[in-house]
Each structure stands twice: as structure tokens, then as C-alpha cells.
Structure 1
Amino acid sequence: MASSDKQNPTYNDRLAADRIDSFDEELEMELDDDRLDELLLAVPPQGEESEHAMNRRLYFKELFRLQGELVKLQDWVAHKKLKVVVLFEGRDAAGKGGAIKRITQRLNPRVCRVVALPAPSEREKSQWYFQRYVSHLPAGGEMVLFDRSWYNRAGVETVMGFCTEDEREEFFRTVPEFEKMLVRSGIILIKYWFSITDEEQHARFTMRIKDPLKQWKLSPMDLESRRRWEAYTKAKEDMLERTHIPEAPWWIIEGNDKKRARLNCIAHLLTQVPYSEIDHPEVILPERVHNPDYHRHPVPREMIVPDLY
């Protein structure tokens, strides 16, 4: 971006908003539900909020409320031995990762896990296309969130020329039957597409370029995807048209506002798996056993991490 753009109020506003969101992300990881009001009142605002920005206290309250419901859903899935698969698709910087982080933030990783596969190896390229995804499907009592999925073939592989036209057509012939088979096997399959505008992706990419803590998120493939925006749009439209089936429909998340997108996604996800709260036995902390013959040995000072803070 040219240096003159730094004087552009829109750019400065976006930079400030991005910093606020980074602060919020850290707060989300630390705040405790019971102390939410008290802590938020003690936190000074980090700059002015946009006229259309979501009220931060409302956002936090709703996020924690929804995460509490996700814990109940997790317990229900484990109790009923359900198998849940959620696909997260969308353009680069559309907010998939942020939504996944908020969904899994307070859940048991033994029940709810994330699958984010790298590019296929040479061996995997020779396998049936869906084979490497099948091994990550859930057993009873598990939820699996795919951060990108088999729809790579309809998106990046198509746009970047990593698959042939015949392979692409075979994918579109196969994927509806593959997903119907998953559903018949008892898997609850939910598919989300995170949608952002051309202008919003440009702004988010710019923020990542300027932020050394987020530059790692931009790969050469991401930058090339930016150049091929229109090709991705065409591929997305074709994908939605050909794979939106009654057994596994697509759900579109409007993602320009990251906070609203996260809340809307979680709220919708909770409607896709009917659940009830599970009664748990009261947890009683056992009495500590004291052995008169036990003597704790001192830890050598050289083993202790320096107390810098």
C-alpha cells in the first residue's frame, strides 16, 4: 500500500478496529463468566468503536452464553454417542479460523477436535480423493470440525489448476453420494460457507501484511487467491449450486463483521443438533492423604524458570 494511504482515515479506522479485535481475542481467552461485568467495567476502551460495530459487552455476554450451550451440546454428543461433522469453508481471511477457535475454546479436545489437513502428499494424491478425509471422521461421541475439507477440490484445486477438469467433474458426481452415505451412516453433517466482500478481504489482507504477528497467515497461495478473486467467485457459485443437497445443505455465514459472524455461526450450530442438558453427579473433592513418612525434596534452583514477571 502506498505511504499516502496511511493518511487515509478509512485505513486508520480499520487499523484501530483490527487492534481492538486483537485485544478482544485476548480478553476472550482470559475472562471468566462470573466476573464478566466486573472485569469489562475495569477495562478502558481501546479507541472509539465504529458506529456499526457490535457492542463489546453484548458480544462477550453472548459469546460466553453460547459457549455454555456448546458445553451442554458436547455433553449430549458424548452421552448419546452422536457423530457430528462440521465443515468450514470460505475465502482466505473470511473468519473460519476465528469461529472455530470460539467454538472449541471451552470444549474438551477429546470430544471436539479440529482437522486442518496440509496439501496432499504424493502417496495421498494416488489414493481415492476422499480417502485421507475418511480417516478423520468421528466415532460415536465425537465432534470433528474441518478447517477446509474435501471441498478443496471445488475451490483452490480448481482455481489454481491442481486438478484436471475430469477430476473436478468426478468430484461433483461423487460428493453428493459420499455425503449421503455419511448421513445414512449416522453422521450429522453441517456445512458452512463464510462469505466476505471483495473490499473486506482486501482490508483484512492489508491488516495481516502490516501486522508482524499475523503475517504468517499470508501464504503465497493466499496472495495468488487475492488476484484470482473472480475465478474463486465462479468456483464458489458452481460448488454451492452442485452440492447443496437436502441431506447436507450449505449454510452461508455473512462474515464482514467478525464478531456477529462468530455468534451467528455458533447460535445456528446449536440449532442443528437437538440436545438437552445432561445431569452430572455432584463432584466432591476427596480428602488429601497425608503420609507422615513423606518429605518433599527441594527443587534445584537451576531447574526453575526465571521469574521475569
Structure 2
Amino acid sequence: MNEFDRTMDTEQRDAEPQEAELQEAERHRRRRLDEELIDAYDEELEMEVDDRLQESGLQISDEARALRRVYFRELIRLQGELVKLQDWIVSTGHRLVVIFEGRDAAGKGGVIKRITQRLNPRMCRVAALPAPNNRERTQWYFQRYVQHLPAGGEMVLFDRSWYNRAGVERVMNFCTDDEYEEFFRSVPEFEKMLVRSGIQIVKYWFSITDDEQEVRFQSRIEDPLKQWKLSPMDLESRRRWEAYTHVKEVMLQRSHIPEAPWWVVQGVDKKRARLNCIHHLLSQVPYQEIEHPHVTLPARVHHPDYIRQPVPEDIIIPEIY
């Protein structure tokens, strides 16, 4: 074998493990994207679709299926406790604010959905405010958030909050240095004032890794049902990962107060993050089960002259299904 052949043979042998590594990396990437898609199913349906996943080309191991069943059982149990918490809040007139912060795709929306899933929307509200309009930009910074605070017997979940100023506004230069510093002078006093008035504040930061955010963003790109979640701001936040890390560290340090401390949720495993967050939230409120009077369904009153009028055919929707 001449020198040229030996060189080519060596390069070919070197290329084989590299190709194998690339194929394995692609298989891992595809598996993670499949897991993201599986996770997107609503809990009401997930138990029913497990047996049909292979037909759609999505693979799930027996171990993963078993873990999912444990997750569903525990989630339903915790949601039962949330209903008890709801009853206690309504009965006592307690006021609760829960703040959810974290990077884009960190899982805030997922846990909010599971918290509210079984609760009465009249007492458990979600506040997800858009960017401030021109009028709101001239107001006291906290003013537009105040109107969403709970009355007695209510719980409000802030899907992002006044901490936008300490995060996205700082990174994207939407606020000045003076406004940024004024926020950190004001926010401890603002939250202490709310607590003194009887509002309980619980603050969560959802923490994920660089790699996990990339997988979740890629999943949004590939899934047409989730593409709406991916905004130009999300893409820019991906590019500025390190800047977000810095402002997050400053925020946790400068706004962690005894009256309203920060709690960090490890969010790489979505299902564990949801369960851990709900479990912790329940532990923060001294709720008790409220006894309800026995409900008896009254008999319907029948009148001999009652006639139900027919509905006009032209206003009945077509029965396609």
C-alpha cells in the first residue's frame, strides 16, 4: 500500500466514528423532539393516546410510559389539593399572588396550565400582560400591575410580572439605567407594602439549561401547533443567553426579601418541575379542608301546559361529526 492509499485509509477510519457520532446525536435530537411533542398532549388525553403513539411514529419506552402514569396519578392528587386550597382561599378571603419568571420556554406556561386546570377561573386568574402601550409607559411603573392584584378570596398567577424591568427590558435596552436602578429601589418597598396589606406573594424562577432551551425552541419551530409561541423576541433572547444569565443573577440577589423570597424551580424535566412547583406552592399556604354542606338536587318542576318550542333548522350548526 503506497503512502496515498495509507492516508486515505486512515482518513476513512477516522471518518467512520465521526459519522456514527453524528448519527447518534441526530437520533438523540429526534428522540428529544418526539418527547416534546408527546408532552404537548393535554392530560385529559395523554392516558388514552399512549397505545397509539407508535402508530404515529413517536416512540416511547416502557420505562417512560410507567413514569408518565406515576406523573398523572401524582398530578391529579396535587390538583385535588389545589381545589382544597381554592375552597380555603374563598372561605377565608385570603389574597394570593404567585409570580412565574424564567427564560423563554422554561416551562412557566405549562405549570400555570396545570394549576388552573381544575380551578374556578373566577377565583384563580392568570395575568399575562402584553408590552405596555404608549399611555402605560408614562405611568408609574407598577401601576398597570396593581389593577390585576387579587381581591379577597382570589388567587392571581402572573405569567411574567413587574420583573420584566429586571429581565427583558434590561437586556433589550427598553429601559434606561436610571429606570433600572429605580426599579430595584422600589420593588422591595412595593412588595413589602402588598404583604402588609394582607397579600401573600410567592415568587418562582424556572431554571433550564442552554441545551434544553435549544431543544424546546427547535420543537416550536418544527411543530405547527406550537409555532405561535416562538416570537422574534424569543429568538433574540436565545442569542443573548449570557446577558439574561447576568440580569437573572442580579435580580435574584437584589429582590430576594424575607417578605417575598425567590424560589428556584429546576425546570429541565418538565413533569418533575410541575409537580415540585405545585407541591411547594401548596406548602406555602396554611390551607385546610373546608367542609361543605351536603348538596341535594331538587326535583324538576313539571307544568302540564309546558311546551318546548322547536328550534329553527337554519340556526342549527351542521352535524359534521
Whether the 8 Å contact between 1:6 and 1:12 is mirrored in structure 2 is no
1:10 counterpart = 2:28 = yes
Matching residue of 2:14: none
- Normalization by structure 1: what TM-score? 0.91
- From 278, 293, 307, give the equivalent of 1:295: 307
Q: CA deviation at 1:11?
A: 1.7
Report the Cα distance in structure 2 between the residues aligned to 1:271 and 1:199, rounded to whole angstroms: 31
Report the Cα distance in structure 2 between the residues aligned to 1:213 and 1:124, rounded to whole angstroms: 32
- From 125, 138, 144, give the equivalent of 1:113: 125
Matching residue of 1:29: 44
Report the Cα distance in structure 1 between the residues aligned to 2:117 and 2:229, rounded to whole angstroms: 20
Percent of aligned positions that are identical: 68
Report the Cα distance in structure 2 between the residues aligned to 1:7 and 1:196, rounded to whole angstroms: 20
Paired residues for 1:30-179 under 5 Å = 40=47, 43-44=50-51, 46=53, 47-49=59-61, 55-179=67-191
Matching residue of 1:245: 257
Q: Could you list the per-position Cα deviations for residues 198-235 of structure 1 after superposition, in whole angstroms to 9, with x for gaps in the alignment?
A: 00000000000011110000111111000000000000
Local SS of the residue matching 1:151:
helix
Report the Cα distance in structure 1 between the residues aligned to 2:263 and 2:25, rounded to whole angstroms: 39
Paired residues for 1:192-271 under 5 Å = 192-271=204-283
Whether the 8 Å contact between 1:17 and 1:49 is mirrored in structure 2 is no
1:20 counterpart = 2:30 = no
Whether the 8 Å contact between 1:54 and 1:259 is mirrored in structure 2 is no
- From 294, 299, 305, give the equivalent of 1:282: 294
Report the Cα distance in structure 1 between the residues aligned to 2:44 and 2:63, rounded to whole angstroms: 26
Matching residue of 1:304: 316
Report the Cα distance in structure 2 between the residues aligned to 1:298 and 1:53, rounded to whole angstroms: 49
Whether the 8 Å contact between 2:203 and 2:262 is mirrored in structure 1 is yes
| Pair 7,266 (structure 1): closer, same or farther in 2 beyond 3 Å | closer
Q: CA deviation at 1:51?
A: 6.4
77-86 vs 298-307, which deviates more?
Answer: 298-307
Q: CA deviation at 1:17?
A: 0.7
Matching residue of 2:4: none
Report the Cα distance in structure 1 between the residues aligned to 2:148 and 2:195, rounded to whole angstroms: 15
Code of the aligned partner of 2:51:
P
Local SS of the residue matching 1:158:
helix
| Pair 306,219 (structure 1): closer, same or farther in 2 beyond 3 Å | same
Report the Cα distance in structure 1 between the residues aligned to 2:61 and 2:187, rounded to whole angstroms: 44
Structure ID, larger Rg: 2
Q: CA deviation at 1:292?
A: 1.1
Report the Cα distance in structure 1 between the residues aligned to 2:25 and 2:152, rounded to whole angstroms: 55
Q: Could you list the per-position Cα deviations for residues 44-101 of structure 1 after superposition, in whole angstroms to 9, with x for gaps in the alignment?
A: 1632249678701100000000000000000000100000000000000000000000
Whether the 8 Å contact between 1:155 and 1:235 is mirrored in structure 2 is yes
Report the Cα distance in structure 2 between the residues aligned to 1:137 and 1:60, rounded to whole angstroms: 31
Report the Cα distance in structure 2 between the residues aligned to 1:303 and 1:203, rounded to whole angstroms: 47
Local SS of the residue matching 1:55:
helix
| Pair 184,64 (structure 1): closer, same or farther in 2 beyond 3 Å | same
- Normalization by structure 2: what TM-score? 0.88
| C-alpha RMSD of matched pairs (Å) | 1.9
Matching residue of 1:37: none
Q: Could you list the per-position Cα deviations for residues 161-211 of structure 1 after superposition, in whole angstroms to 9, with x for gaps in the alignment?
A: 000000000000110111111111111100000000000000000000011
Report the Cα distance in structure 2 between the residues aligned to 1:214 and 1:6, rounded to whole angstroms: 26
| Pair 41,234 (structure 1): closer, same or farther in 2 beyond 3 Å | closer
- Runs of 5+ in structure 1 lacking a partner? 32-39
Report the Cα distance in structure 1 between the residues aligned to 2:192 and 2:66, rounded to whole angstroms: 38
| Pair 54,82 (structure 1): closer, same or farther in 2 beyond 3 Å | farther
Whether the 8 Å contact between 1:5 and 1:11 is mirrored in structure 2 is no
50-59 vs 113-122, which deviates more?
Answer: 50-59
How many matched pairs? 295
Q: Could you list the per-position Cα deviations for residues 103-138 of structure 1 after superposition, in whole angstroms to 9, with x for gaps in the alignment?
A: 000000111100000101111111110011111111
Matching residue of 1:36: none
Q: Could you list the per-position Cα deviations for residues 15-38 of structure 1 after superposition, in whole angstroms to 9, with x for gaps in the alignment?
A: 211222123x2xx1358xxxxxxx
| Pair 229,54 (structure 1): closer, same or farther in 2 beyond 3 Å | farther
Code of the aligned partner of 1:64:
I
